[in-house]
Amino acid sequence: MRAIKKECNVLMKRLMITVLSLFVGGLMLSAPAFGEGISNYDLMMELKAMKERMKALEKELDKEDKKIEDLKTNTEKRLEDITLHPEERPPMKLEAPEGEAKWSERIIFSGLIEGEFSSEKQTWKNPDREARDDNFSLATVELGIEGQINKYTTGNVVLLYEQDEDEDRLRLDEGTITIGGIEETYGLYFLGGKYYPHFGELNSYFVSDPLVVEIFEIRETAAQVGYEGDWFAAGAGAFHGDVQKTGDDESRIKGFFADANFHNPEDTIGGLSLLIGGSYLNNVADTNLQDEVVGIKDYVGGLAGYLVAEYGPFSFGAEYISALDKFNPGEMNYAKDRAGIAQKTEPAAYNLEFAYRPIDTVQLALKYEGSKDMFGLYPEKQYGGCISWEMFKYTVLSAEYLHGTYDENNEESKDDRNCFTIQLAVEF
């Protein structure tokens, strides 16, 4: 700003000097003539010369006005860009000598902080008792770093802290390299690194993770190729996996996944936004279920189907994920009946959610979800509601209530649970 003001002052001084020079020059030329007496012809010629000088002065003034106006416009634009949130800033212009931006202009930082108060009460049928757990927690701290290496290559790093898992330290949650996925590569891309392979959409409008996430989310170091188009996307990849068959060669890569979905571009179906897709995973024991694996003789595949739709202030999500076969008795630690006897299990989960925004800053959501063959590890059925209020820009206050019931075939004799959560979240 100081540099711009200084340049404006210099321009104004130059303009004043030009005007004064022309005025004094005109007086000096005119003085002798008036002293000696001049003819009409000489007077006309002098006036003509003065008009020419005035035209030249007007052109000079127009040039100086244009420079001042350009400086004003550029200053206002710079101030506007500085005050915008990172997501709203215009794309960076590459003005480096060799056509590439400086490293500081090619990196985008983002973050998320979530603080929560939660209260959960559980009851048991046998023996007849209940327990309550109240807690304040810094539920999530997430820092994302995205670097546009060049036109074709992007690097992404996500650091994550979760109070229940990370013991006051940030861990590397994701680290990926993406090549392609742009018009010049016809939508084809390569993705490699540590990330969450797309097994199900895992969409939710609630504070708490839905059961499809709690049970079937997967995070692996993988390599993937795919296509991303205006109406259709598909991808497939491979990973090593942490869960191997008993007696199998652990040095072999035997994990595979694939996903395909249809999604319409904006304003192509009368204002309706639609996403429909399906996913396949050849070993569901490599999802969050791996914490319960004792040992498996054969891989059990999994299939996911999902739908997400938005129309005006209304949103809807539906998803179902299931194993395609049963794990044998003793392969999953949770699969024990009330007598403690190991059972076969074919885990599955579903989630239905509906959301409505009466105004832009408020969202109301309802859900109904459940699980199958989880033997009390997760609720068999669960429903609840959530209200979220964007009290300030990028600052959201949410309140959520969930009621879940367990099936009767569980070793711990769990009956039901009631969970209440208040969350304050900020994004940057």
Closest CA to 263 of 252, 273, 278: 273
Above pLDDT 90, what percent of the chain? 64
Q: How many other C-beta atoms are found inside a 10 Å radius of the C-beta of residue 70? A: 10
Domain covering 106-427 in this structure, CATH number: 2.40.160.10
pLDDT tens digit string along 179-234? 999 999 999 999 999 999 999 999 999 999 999 999 999 999 999 999 999 999 99
* Spatial distance between the Cα atoms of 329 and 342, rounded to a whole number of angstroms: 5
pLDDT tens digit string along 236-258? 999 999 998 887 767 778 899 99
- Both tokens of residue 106? 């090619």
Q: Which residue has the higher pLDDT, 39 or 99?
A: 39
Residues forming a β-bridge with 260: 234, 278
Helix crossing, 40-83 with 2-36: angle to 10°?
Answer: 170
Looking at residue 345, the DSSP 8-state letter turns out to be: B
Helix intervals (H) in 129-262: 163-166, 211-216
pLDDT at 22 over 60: no
Cβ-in-10-Å burial (0-12, 13-18, 19+) of 405 comes to middle
Looking at residue 30, the DSSP 8-state letter turns out to be: H
pLDDT at 333 over 80: yes
pLDDT tens digit string along 382-414? 999 999 999 999 999 999 999 999 988 887 788
User: Amino acid identity of 126?
Assistant: N
Q: In the structure, how many helices (H) and strands (E) does the chain have? A: 4, 16
pLDDT tens digit string along 343-357? 999 999 999 999 999
* Spatial distance between the Cα atoms of 13 and 1, rounded to a whole number of angstroms: 19
- Both tokens of residue 359? 């105004």
How distant, in Å, are the alpha carbons of 96, 125, 177, 382 from that of 153? 18, 57, 7, 43
Residue found under tokens 């001042």: 68
Buried b (16+ CB within 10 A) or exposed e, 159-188: bbbbbeeeeeeeeebbbbebbbbeeeeebe
Residues sharing a CB contact under 8 Å with residue 4, sequence separation 6 or more, in sequence order: 71, 74, 75
Mean pLDDT, to the nearest integer, of 39-62?
Answer: 70
Residues in the chain: 428
Looking at residue 245, the DSSP 8-state letter turns out to be: B
Residue 425 main-chain phi, psi, to 5 deg: -125, 140
pLDDT at 82 over 90: no
Going from N- to C-terminal start, the domains of the chain cover 2-83, 106-427
Identify the pLDDT of residue 263: 96
